[in-house]
């Protein structure tokens, strides 16, 4: 089992009380799976992603990645896990505006200590695989939203992580660019990458092999009836 | 690291105006310090060269009682001091750092020296054959002392130019006879200080008190000295050092050597008699102290500018951290360690202040040049002070960049990414 969540709770302080954003979430994801998670805004989707990506620590419950718990891990260890095991794709791409596409893509390898020459060669290759050959030196501001998101995917995948976490990857894109992104996800999944994707759009969720639903911090395999309206 | 430095330059360049204004405090502080230090150094160097070295680096070692040089015109010669012979003179001339040594006697306040009933009140010297060389005198006209003059204790004298003009006011002095304590001495020549040996004191008022105000010098052989003065008068020694910096060391060594060999133990103990060097360096250092202490206050003021500059850097770095929260968050999310973020911001702060420091050094050098050109104050820019100033400005960056950098490195990635 690649990902295993057991009774994960996450509380945030809200005024004097604690707000339970994730409520006893159980989730198992096997290698090679492609899971979409849907839910209304404020239901805890991003929070779940942050826990899955070791950007945030659960309040209680166990999270095993590849059978390993990182509850006690140091800041540097977590940085290493994020760097090597997980690829992140965000709704707003989060590219560094002053860096070329190539340098943006190569960034995770810099943190992994890969020599510059190899870094850049692999970045070019990764850009090619998302159809951006020839845009190596382009600044993000000169690229369309769809292209930016493809650069972000190249960056997420350059260290060849097993797990790709995508938080509304098409949320800021038109349908054509969105479906291009989904094509890339399909390819990645076909090559063996495990994908967990959050989305609002049923059409996008349908591209995944499996869909789950979250509401008020509770994750279920079935959609609640009132949401179908 | 190289990457960080490149990025820092990029960041600084992309906010040219802001970076420049931030650097301004550092630039002004470093520029002032460089200017002040250059001015002190220049002035001190001039004091040292003109006052102490005066081109010849000669220092007088003579008999002292406690801290006062003994004037045998007024005081009795203490019993038991052994005379300095040629062997000892040779020994002194070969002290490490010494170039030559001369034995002489002298009188500063003359009473018994006349030319045709007119009294001369300059200085009188009884010198050996090394003296004139050491002080850079050259024969202007007439002849100098010969070996025969020494052997036969010939009653002849040399005049320096000032003495020649005060006594003879333009007339030819050669062959004229001076009366020294009742004895006739024939003038055989006139000597003048080689121009490169003359102190070139001009601009500084402080130097005036060192200017010669006597009516000149008369030289006789030290062999003829006892014919008019006491025969057992201990010699003073003029030791020439190879460099100005060697003077203190050489004169101290000479003093120790003479005291140990020539002054009996009981005289040393009971009367505190010893040979000592006139410590010109100390005189000069006192003078230098005055420039130093005023400058030190100026440096304090300049340091305040550096402190303000440092705080400015800290402030702008905090702004920068806030502005770049997203960048920091993203970097941490994809695997940057804390130390990397810390390094990035520390590098940026110290690159900023180092550039400021270098600009300050440049401005300081220009200021120093302008000061020496337009105000006539000598300046000397020192390489160590440039290196120190640059290093110091880098340290300012590290110190004042630390807080913002730590703040950046501790940023929580989700907080950072959530901020839109
Ligand atoms: N750091 C936080 N501090 C306090 N409340 C938070 C924090 N992060 C998220 N929340 C709250 O948790 C709830 C779920 O947020 P989120 O996971 O972003 O929802 P979604 O991504 O499904 O829209 C929201 O009510 C949000 O206000
Ligand atoms: Mg969200």
Domain at A183, CATH number:
3.40.50.300
Residue pLDDT, tens place only, B6-36: 888 888 888 888 899 999 999 999 998 888 8
Q: By the 8 A CB rule, do A2 and A29 touch?
A: yes
- The whole-number average pLDDT for the span A47-74 is 94
Which H or E run contains B326?
A: helix B325-333
Best of A55, A76, A107 to mutate (most B CBs within 10 Å, chain B): A55
ipTM: 0.94
User: Into how many domains does chain A fold?
Assistant: 1
Question: Cα dist. A92→A150, A168, B321 in Å?
Answer: 12, 9, 20
Rounded to the nearest angstrom, the minimum Cα separation between B337 and chain A is 6
Highest mean pLDDT among A136-145, B90-99, B274-283: A136-145
**Any idea which residue has 């009971």 for tokens?**
B270
Q: For residue B196, is pLDDT > 70?
A: no
Residues of B with CB under 8 A from a CB of A: 3, 10, 14, 326-327, 330-338, 340, 413-414, 417, 420
Look at A78-92, B238-252, B350-364 and tell me which has the smallest mean pLDDT: B238-252
Cα angle at A72 between A68 and A76, to 5 degrees?
90
Give residue B301's pLDDT: 81
Ligand 2 centre to CA of A41 (Å) is: 7
| Identity of the residue in B10, B326, B334 whose CB atom sits nearest the CB atom of A82 | B334
Q: By the 8 A CB rule, do B241 and B250 touch?
A: yes
Q: Which residue has the higher pLDDT, B284 or B62?
A: B62
Chain A CB contacts of B334 under 8 Å are 82-83, 88, 107-108, 111, 155
Confirm whether A12 is domain-assigned.
no
Rounded to the nearest angstrom, the minimum Cα separation between B413 and chain A is 6
Give residue B249's pLDDT: 84
Confirm whether A217 is domain-assigned.
yes
Q: Where are the beta strands (DSSP E) in B168-323?
A: 177-180, 183-193, 217-221, 236-241, 273-277
Confirm whether A130 is domain-assigned.
yes
Secondary structure (3-state) at A6: strand
> Which atom, in ligand 1's list, is nearest to the CA of A217?
14
Give residue B201's pLDDT: 43
Question: Cα dist. B19→B32, B349, B354, B359 in Å?
Answer: 20, 10, 12, 13
B130 — pLDDT class (breaks 50, 70, 90): very high
Q: For residue A67, is pLDDT > 50?
A: yes
Beta strands B183-193; B156-160: pairing state: parallel
Rounded to the nearest angstrom, the minimum Cα separation between A86 and chain B is 8
Give residue A80's pLDDT: 95
Give residue B54's pLDDT: 61
- The whole-number average pLDDT for the span A127-141 is 95
Give residue B264's pLDDT: 85
B399 — pLDDT class (breaks 50, 70, 90): very high
Q: By the 8 A CB rule, do B60 and B242 touch?
A: no
Q: Which residue has the higher pLDDT, B35 or A157?
A: A157
**Count of C-beta atoms within a 10 Å radius of residue B303:** 14
Which residue's C-alpha comes closest to atom 25 of ligand 1? A42
Q: By the 8 A CB rule, do B279 and B249 touch?
A: no
Q: By the 8 A CB rule, do B186 and B175 touch?
A: yes
Look at A24-33, B52-61, B411-420 and tell me which has the smallest mean pLDDT: B52-61
- The whole-number average pLDDT for the span B78-95 is 87
Residue whose CB lies within 8 A of the most ligand 1 atoms, among A16, A19, A48, A166, for a mutation test? A19
Distance CA A95, CA A104 (A): 6
Residue whose CB lies within 8 A of the most ligand 1 atoms, among A8, A10, A11, A12, for a mutation test? A12
Distance CA B334, CA B324 (A): 16
B195 — pLDDT class (breaks 50, 70, 90): low
Distance CA B211, CA B202 (A): 10
Distance CA B315, CA B352 (A): 13
Confirm whether A178 is domain-assigned.
yes
The protein residues having their C-beta less than 5 angstroms from ligand 2 (an ion) are: A 46
Q: How many distinct helices (H) and strands (E) make up chain B?
A: 14, 13
Ligand 1 centre to CA of A46 (Å) is: 7
A118 backbone dihedrals φ, ψ, rounded to 5°: -65, -40
**Any idea which residue has 């910096």 for tokens?**
B245
Beta strands B217-221; B156-160: pairing state: antiparallel
> What number of CA atoms fall less than 13 Å from residue A125's CA on the CB side?
10
Residue whose CB lies within 8 A of the most ligand 1 atoms, among A42, A171, A199, for a mutation test? A42
Which residue's C-alpha comes closest to atom 6 of ligand 1? A12
What whole-number percentage of chain B has pLDDT above 90? Answer: 38
**Count of C-beta atoms within a 10 Å radius of residue B388:** 14
Which residue's C-alpha comes closest to atom 8 of ligand 1? A47
Residues of A with CB under 8 A from a CB of B: 50, 53, 55-56, 75-76, 79-80, 82-84, 88, 90, 92, 94, 96, 98, 107-108, 110-112, 155, 159
Give residue B38's pLDDT: 85
Q: For residue B200, is pLDDT > 70?
A: no
Look at A131-145, A173-187, B7-21 and tell me which has the smallest mean pLDDT: B7-21
Residues spanned by the domain of A88: 29-44+75-224
Tokens of A4: 């295993």
Which H or E run contains A197?
A: strand A194-199
Please report the sign of the dihedral spanned by the C-alpha atoms of residue A107, residue A111, residue A114, residue A116: positive
- Compute and round to an integer the Cα radius of gyration of chain A: 18
Ligand 1 centre to CA of A41 (Å) is: 9
Give residue B281's pLDDT: 61
Please report the sign of the dihedral spanned by the C-alpha atoms of residue B138, residue B144, residue B146, residue B151: negative
Residue pLDDT, tens place only, B138-191: 999 999 999 999 999 999 999 998 889 889 888 899 999 999 988 999 999 999
Q: What is the DSSP letter of B100?
A: E
Which residue's C-alpha comes closest to atom 18 of ligand 1? A46
Give residue B212's pLDDT: 46
Ligand 1 centre to CA of A16 (Å) is: 16
Q: By the 8 A CB rule, do B407 and B78 touch?
A: no
Beta strands A86-89; A163-167: pairing state: parallel
Which H or E run contains B354?
A: helix B338-374
**Any idea which residue has 């130097």 for tokens?**
B207
Ligand 1: list residues with CB < 6 Å.
A 12, 21, 39, 41-47
Average pLDDT over chain B reads 84
Q: Where are the beta strands (DSSP E) in B32-87?
A: 58-65, 68-69
Q: For residue B227, is pLDDT > 50?
A: yes
Q: By the 8 A CB rule, do B286 and B376 touch?
A: no
Q: For residue B378, is pLDDT > 80?
A: no
Distance CA B367, CA B53 (A): 28
Q: Which of A138, A126, A135, A128 is nearest to A100 (CA)?
A: A138
Residues 6+ apart with CB under 8 A from A20: A9, A10, A11, A217
Give residue B305's pLDDT: 86
Look at A114-118, B110-114, B147-151, B250-254 and tell me which has the smallest mean pLDDT: B110-114
Q: Which of A107, A132, A114 is nearest to A184 (CA)?
A: A132
Confirm whether A2 is domain-assigned.
no
Distance CA B64, CA B255 (A): 10
Average pLDDT over chain A reads 93
Residues 6+ apart with CB under 8 A from B298: B32, B36
**Count of C-beta atoms within a 10 Å radius of residue A206:** 11
Give residue B202's pLDDT: 41
Interface touch A50/B336, C-beta < 8 Å: no
Question: Cα dist. A155→A13, A106, A114, A122 in Å?
Answer: 34, 7, 14, 10
Residue pLDDT, tens place only, B314-334: 999 999 999 999 999 999 999
**Any idea which residue has 């040779």 for tokens?**
B90
| Identity of the residue in B3, B10, B338 whose CB atom sits nearest the CB atom of A98 | B10
Tokens of A104: 């943006």
| Identity of the residue in A94, A96, A111 whose CB atom sits nearest the CB atom of B335 | A111
What whole-number percentage of chain A has pLDDT above 90? Answer: 91
Chain A CB contacts of B335 under 8 Å are 79-80, 82-84, 108, 111-112, 159
- The whole-number average pLDDT for the span B128-133 is 92
Distance CA A189, CA A167 (A): 16
Give residue B204's pLDDT: 41
The residue ranges of every structural domain in chain B are: 2-50+286-418, 58-241
Give residue B52's pLDDT: 57
Q: For residue B209, is pLDDT > 80?
A: no
Interface touch B417/A90, C-beta < 8 Å: yes
Q: Which of B81, B228, B88 is nearest to B157 (CA)?
A: B228
Chain B CB contacts of A167 under 8 Å are none
Look at A140-144, A216-220, B317-321, B381-385 and tell me which has the smallest mean pLDDT: B381-385
> Which atom, in ligand 1's list, is nearest to the CA of B415?
1
């Amino acid at each position: 089992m690649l990902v295993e969540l057991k009774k994960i709770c996450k509380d945030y302080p809200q005024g004097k009380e604690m707000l339970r954003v994730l409520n006893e979430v159980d989730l198992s994801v096997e290698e090679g799976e492609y899971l979409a998670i849907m839910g209304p805004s404020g239901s805890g989707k991003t929070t779940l992603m942050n826990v899955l990506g070791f950007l945030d620590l659960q309040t209680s419950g166990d999270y095993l990645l590849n059978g390993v718990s990182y509850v006690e891990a140091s800041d540097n260890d977590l940085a290493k896990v994020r760097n090597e095991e997980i690829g992140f794709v965000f709704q707003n791409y989060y590219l560094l505006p002053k860096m070329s596409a190539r340098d943006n893509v190569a960034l995770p390898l810099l943190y992994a200590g890969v020599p510059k020459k190899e870094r850049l060669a692999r970045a070019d290759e990764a850009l090619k695989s998302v159809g951006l050959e020839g845009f190596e030196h382009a600044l993000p501001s000169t690229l369309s939203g769809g292209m930016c998101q493809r650069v972000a995917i190249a960056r997420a995948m350059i260290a060849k992580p097993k797990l790709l976490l995508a938080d509304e990857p098409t949320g800021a894109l038109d349908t054509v660019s969105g479906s291009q992104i989904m094509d890339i996800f399909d390819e990645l999944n076909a090559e063996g990458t495990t994908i967990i994707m959050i989305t609002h759009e049923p059409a996008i969720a349908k591209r995944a092999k499996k869909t789950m639903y979250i509401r008020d911090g509770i994750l279920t395999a079935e959609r609640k009836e009132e949401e179908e309206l | 690291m190289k990457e960080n430095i490149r990025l820092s330059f990029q960041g600084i360049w992309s906010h040219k105006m802001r970076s420049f204004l931030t650097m301004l405090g550092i630039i002004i502080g470093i520029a002032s310090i460089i200017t002040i230090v250059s001015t002190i150094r220049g002035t001190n160097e001039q004091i040292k060269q003109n006052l102490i070295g005066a081109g010849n680096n000669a220092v007088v070692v003579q008999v002292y009682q406690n801290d006062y040089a003994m004037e045998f015109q007024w005081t009795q010669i203490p019993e038991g001091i052994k005379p300095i012979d040629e062997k000892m003179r040779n020994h002194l001339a070969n002290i490490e750092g010494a170039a030559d040594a001369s034995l002489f006697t002298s009188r500063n306040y003359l009473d018994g020296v006349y030319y045709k009933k007119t009294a001369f009140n300059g200085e009188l010297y009884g010198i050996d054959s090394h003296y004139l060389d050491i002080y850079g005198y050259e024969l202007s006209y007439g002849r100098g002392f010969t070996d025969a003059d020494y052997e036969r204790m010939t009653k002849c004298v040399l005049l320096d130019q000032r003495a020649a003009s005060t006594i003879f006011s333009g007339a030819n002095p050669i062959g004229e006879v001076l009366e020294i304590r009742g004895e006739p001495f024939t003038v055989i020549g006139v000597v003048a200080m080689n121009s490169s040996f003359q102190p070139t004191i001009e601009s500084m008022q402080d130097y005036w008190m060192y200017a010669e105000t006597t009516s000149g010098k008369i030289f006789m052989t030290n062999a003829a000295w006892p014919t008019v003065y006491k025969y057992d008068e201990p010699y003073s020694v003029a030791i020439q050092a190879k460099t100005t910096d060697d003077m203190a060391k050489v004169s101290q060594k000479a003093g120790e050597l003479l005291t140990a060999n020539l002054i009996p133990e009981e005289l040393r103990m009971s009367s505190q008699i010893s040979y000592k060097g006139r410590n010109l360096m100390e005189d000069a250092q006192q003078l230098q102290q005055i420039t130093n202490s005023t400058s030190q206050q100026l440096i304090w003021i300049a340091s305040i500018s550096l402190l303000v500059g440092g705080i400015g850097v800290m402030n702008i770095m905090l702004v920068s951290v806030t502005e770049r929260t997203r960048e920091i968050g993203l970097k941490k999310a994809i695997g940057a360690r804390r130390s990397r973020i810390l390094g990035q911001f520390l590098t940026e702060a110290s690159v900023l202040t180092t550039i400021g420091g270098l600009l300050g050094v440049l401005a300081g050098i220009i200021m120093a040049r302008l000061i020496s050109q337009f105000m006539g104050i000598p300046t000397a820019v020192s390489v160590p002070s440039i290196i120190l100033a640059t290093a110091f400005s880098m340290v300012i960056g590290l110190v004042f960049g630390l807080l913002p950098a730590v703040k950046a490195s501790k940023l929580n990635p989700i907080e950072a990414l959530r901020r839109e």
